[in-house]
């Protein structure tokens, strides 16, 4: 921590506009009765989206949910919460070095990391603490309902107001990372400079009031009582997102063949998964996710649907049990993950729906290292491996033993990972190719980049799934 009075992080802390409560209260027309009133007024401004297909309203808990409820009701759109947690610099928590969201989404501002001189250990400690709180809140608000799929959707992120904008900014970025094609940020009131800055992360920002004397969000409400967890749960239950509908539109109806939830036997544990084997499938791809993700990852589900439409089978499963995930050492234990993957592959080959089909691996982040290490195991015949934003370098000394045709897909703006992939490619002795997706960062959240990665994976697997191996 710097003590010379010249902290470079200070400039990164946004400040809301100032003013007095008395001056704000003079603008009577700008004061909302309560959050319900604010939501009704906000919905009127958003009526241009009425009838638009694939709209999803996401409220920031807790105060943003009553506002979002009115917007969702007026638009006839499903409502859900978007739970995000800021990753704060340990010695200056108001400065965020990143954010995390459900579905394993993780965003990191490398410039802040550099300025704060953060170590991986410090970042991991913060993330573990915040992810535990994120999961607690998500379970509290959503219960057993599945995480809404945002792929290809117009997503309206709603809060009750914006001061510094840190949470709203993270929510917009998380929504984009989860596959939203268009992000609209909608709030009743916000500080002028903050609202203007948020136009960089949202396709559109709708704000009813941007007063010069902002003071505080609560100053613009006659009733700004704290929203309780119970109120959030009750509102979500009244306008719950449908269990089906959008997912079928975006992912396409399940192809003719076998589609089902399965329990994958992997030694002493049984892991939940989803197996899709189209009729006359040309092969089956096992998805190996990275740290903090799972079988419900929206990005992997999108890629899996792309493969299914091309006549390829897919298996998405959780690599670790919930208890195992609680120990972060397991998440980064490539040896453990690779061994687990080999066992899962054996289980898959024993399934009648997949009998005789060539098998491939699709790995992301640390999952790519596990996929390559498993593909190098003697007797584990894998036809092809695709790594998206992966860390093949973590496969260790087994990298040069990989026999499966390997495609490395890396974002052009993911510079550090791109360098690691180039170095790893030089160690591969199998057929291999490095494909760089221009403009993409690590999570392929930029418009069109995930589609490009999915198409590259589809073409690679299709080209390398020949007759079943003997």
Q: How far is CA 22 from CA 42, 182, 184, 216, in A?
A: 25, 38, 32, 12
Q: pLDDT at residue 118 above 80?
A: yes
Token pair for residue 315?
């298996």
pLDDT digits (tens, 9 = 90+) for 339-377: 999 999 999 999 999 999 999 999 998 899 999 999 999
**Domains, the chain, ordered by start:** 10-243 (3.40.50.2020), 252-464 (3.40.50.1820)
Q: pLDDT at residue 401 above 90?
A: yes
Mean of pLDDT values over 137-152 = 80
In degrees, rounded to 5, the angle at the alpha carbon of residue 153 between the alpha carbons of residues 147 and 158 is 75
Mean of pLDDT values over 419-432 = 95
Ranked by mean pLDDT, which of 145-154, 389-398, 424-433 comes out on top? 424-433
Among 139-143, 245-249, 291-295, which stretch is predicted with the lowest mean pLDDT?
Answer: 245-249
Output the pLDDT for position 73: 87
Q: What is the DSSP string of 89-116?
A: ETTEEEEEEEEEEGGGEEEE-HHHHHHH
Q: What is the DSSP string of 336-383?
A: HHHHHHHHHHHHHHTSTTTTT--EEEEEETHHHHHHHHHHTSTT---S
Distance CA 258, CA 135 (A): 32
Output the pLDDT for position 469: 39
Output the pLDDT for position 312: 95
Among 223-232, 273-282, 289-298, 343-352, which stretch is predicted with the lowest mean pLDDT?
Answer: 289-298
Place of tokens 């992810």: 131
**Cβ-contact 301, 103 below 8 angstroms:** no
Output the pLDDT for position 246: 41
Place of tokens 């309203």: 57
Output the pLDDT for position 18: 42
pLDDT digits (tens, 9 = 90+) for 258-271: 888 888 888 888 88
Output the pLDDT for position 461: 96
pLDDT digits (tens, 9 = 90+) for 76-90: 888 999 998 888 899
Mean of pLDDT values over 423-446 = 91
Q: How far is CA 150 from CA 83, 103, 260, 294, 297, in A?
A: 14, 11, 22, 16, 11
Sheet of 204-209, strands arranged across: 79-81, 55-59, 154-158, 182-189, 204-209
Distance CA 374, CA 229 (A): 44
pTM (two decimals): 0.52
Mean of pLDDT values over 378-384 = 94
Confidence band, pLDDT 50/70/90 cuts, at residue 25: very low
pLDDT digits (tens, 9 = 90+) for 100-109: 888 777 888 8
Q: pLDDT at residue 19 above 60?
A: no
- Would you say the C-alpha torsion 245, 251, 252, 257 has a positive or negative sign? negative
Distance CA 375, CA 362 (A): 11
> How high does pLDDT run on average in the chain?
84
pLDDT digits (tens, 9 = 90+) for 162-205: 988 888 988 998 898 888 889 999 999 999 999 999 999 999 99
């Amino acid at each position: 921590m710097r003590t010379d009075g010249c902290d470079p992080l200070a400039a990164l802390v946004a400040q809301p506009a100032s003013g007095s409560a008395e001056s704000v209260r003079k603008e009577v027309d700008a004061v909302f009765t309560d959050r319900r009133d604010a939501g009704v007024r906000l919905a009127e401004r958003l009526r241009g989206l009425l009838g638009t297909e694939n709209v999803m309203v996401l409220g920031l808990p807790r105060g943003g949910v009553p506002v979002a409820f009115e917007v969702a009701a007026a638009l006839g759109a499903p409502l859900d919460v978007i739970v995000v947690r800021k990753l704060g610099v340990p010695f200056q928590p108001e400065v965020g070095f990143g954010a995390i969201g459900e579905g394993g989404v993780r965003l990191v501002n490398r410039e802040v990391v550099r300025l704060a001189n953060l170590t991986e250990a410090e970042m991991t400690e913060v993330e573990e603490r915040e992810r535990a709180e994120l999961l607690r809140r998500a379970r509290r608000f959503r219960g057993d309902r599945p995480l809404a799929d945002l792929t290809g959707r117009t997503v309206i992120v709603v809060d009750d107001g914006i001061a510094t904008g840190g949470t709203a900014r993270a929510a917009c970025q998380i929504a984009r990372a989860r596959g939203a094609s268009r992000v609209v940020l909608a709030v009743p009131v916000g500080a002028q400079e903050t609202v203007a800055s948020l136009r960089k992360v949202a396709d559109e920002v709708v704000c009813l009031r941007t007063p010069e004397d902002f003071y505080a969000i609560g100053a613009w409400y006659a009733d700004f009582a704290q929203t309780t967890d119970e109120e959030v749960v009750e509102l979500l239950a009244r306008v719950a997102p449908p269990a089906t509908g959008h997912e079928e539109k975006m992912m396409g109806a399940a192809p003719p063949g076998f589609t089902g939830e399965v329990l994958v036997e992997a030694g002493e544990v049984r892991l939940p998964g989803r197996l899709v084997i189209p009729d006359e499938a040309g092969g089956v791809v096992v998805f190996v996710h990275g740290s903090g993700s799972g079988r419900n990852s929206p990005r992997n589900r999108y890629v899996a649907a792309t493969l299914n439409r091309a006549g390829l089978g897919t298996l998405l499963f959780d690599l670790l049990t919930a208890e195992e995930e609680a120990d972060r050492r397991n998440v980064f234990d490539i040896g453990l993950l690779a061994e687990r993957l080999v066992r899962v592959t054996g289980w898959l080959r024993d399934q009648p729906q997949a009998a005789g089909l060539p098998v491939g691996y699709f790995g992301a982040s640390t999952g790519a290292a596990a996929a390559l290490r498993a593909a190098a195991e003697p007797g584990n015949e894998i036809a092809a491996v695709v790594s998206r934003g992966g860390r093949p370098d973590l496969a260790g000394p087994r990298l040069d033993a990989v026999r499966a045709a390997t495609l490395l897909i890396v974002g052009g703006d993911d510079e550090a990972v791109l360098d690691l992939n180039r170095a790893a490619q030089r160690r591969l002795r199998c057929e291999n190719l490095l494909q760089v997706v221009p403009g993409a960062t690590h999570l392929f959240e930029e418009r069109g980049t995930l589609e490009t990665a999915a198409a590259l994976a589809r073409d690679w697997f299709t080209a390398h799934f020949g007759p079943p191996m003997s």
